[in-house]
Amino acid sequence: MTTSPATEVSDVTERRHQLVEQLRADNHIRTSAVERAFRTVPRHVFAPNAALEAAYANDIIPTRHASDGRVISSISAPWLQADMLEAARIQRGHRVLEIGSGGYNAALMAELVGPAGHVTTVDIDPAVTERATRFLSGNGYDHVHVVTADAEHLTTVVVPDGGFDAIVVTVDTWDLPWIDALAEGGRLIAPLRLHGYHWAIAFTRDKGALHSDEPLIVCGFVAMQGDGAWQTNRRTVPGTGVHLLWEDGTPLPVDQLAPALACEPTVTRTNITVRGQERFDALTLYLAGALPGFCRLEVDPNGGNQVLHPPPQHWPGAAIVRGASLARLATERIGDGDDGKGMYEFVVHGYGDQGHVAAQEMAEQVEHWQRNHRSARCPLITARPAADCVPASRDHEPHVFAKKHTRITVDWPIVPSSAGSRSAG
């Protein structure tokens, strides 16, 4: 028995509305305008090779792969698209720039700006822009301007007088070279890398600088290509299978660390706990800004130094280098927790003759974060054009990240001392 076209249309519509209801229930869709856009744009037509169930799942849809299998273009997860569009505060008549094409998100933005507005979407990959052009034109969004260009420069993009009202970046970016293309008071939403950790951050331009004003969203996107691509600055400690990564700051020598990693570490306890399913990305961001010599540590899954136990899980861990010594943040299970998913204590492992000193230094910063910042509002991020900033007088400025086009400052709100506890409760 075959399915009739009417049944197929009904099934598509039902799945689209079910997705919207899920996004509303989870508070990712918060305004009627964004809800209307998600109810209107058919996601499946921008992913014709995906099954209908996958097209309306709350997950990414890979659309292009590199020769080594890496995903280099995708349709982002709907929850993240909704969060970013809500944060962009796009209004009817706005002029909007999207960096990183695919078609679906541009169609959502076209619904938000309406006939009087304008959407430009840019991607460096001609295969991606050809695909976006084809799907947009074939589904009633041929008024979206699709541009093939390196977004690092925007030389082929017509920036409207006064700048774009909103810029939405849908690729993983290490820097923010688009401040001058944004209108004063305009919104820029970008998944920004800080020491390899990723947050979607909503900024408003005020007096030529970008200021965040909403909670940071932990996220992941395909990597930026072209001149704006980030460099891992990955260094391997000889003979250990241990790698240290710097993305902000100057890489330090690592060859001298091999003897340190061959020995058992010292363990410095913090008495600060975290639940098994609780994220502590804010702590790693705090440590990255607070500690000179900060880097991230990862281990070859099948060849790492067995002294590094437990190895970093899921993503590279926080570490600092001090000459021939090193310290790294780890967690130690101390119980099941109220939900049975585990209770863990932050501990710091020190390696080398001065490893215990480095471990104590890191532990003190973990305790400072716990006492002063853990229960506070999320940190506030400011991005200023590098040309407007006085060059740093020292190698390490606490909570300042110097990039090619901008200088990023992280401001950590402080809570009253009574609000800082030794655990997450």
Q: How crowded is residue 208: how many other Cβ atoms within 10 Å of its Cβ? A: 12
State residue 394 phi and psi, 5-degree precision.
-145, 165
State residue 353 phi and psi, 5-degree precision.
-60, -35
Which residue matches tokens 């074939």?
138
Which residue matches tokens 């004003």?
213
State residue 145 phi and psi, 5-degree precision.
-90, 115
Closest by CA position to 386, among listed 409, 411, 407: 407
Closest by CA position to 153, among listed 133, 132, 174, 178: 178
Strand partners, 166: 96, 187
Element holding 411 (H helix, E strand): strand 406-411
Element holding 317 (H helix, E strand): strand 317-322
Number of H helices, E strands in the chain: 9, 20
Active site (annotated) includes residue 76:
yes
d(CA 234, CA 266) in angstroms, rounded, equals: 25
d(CA 361, CA 323) in angstroms, rounded, equals: 14
Catalytic residue selected from 10, 67, 73, 76: 76
Q: Which residues belong to the active site?
A: 76
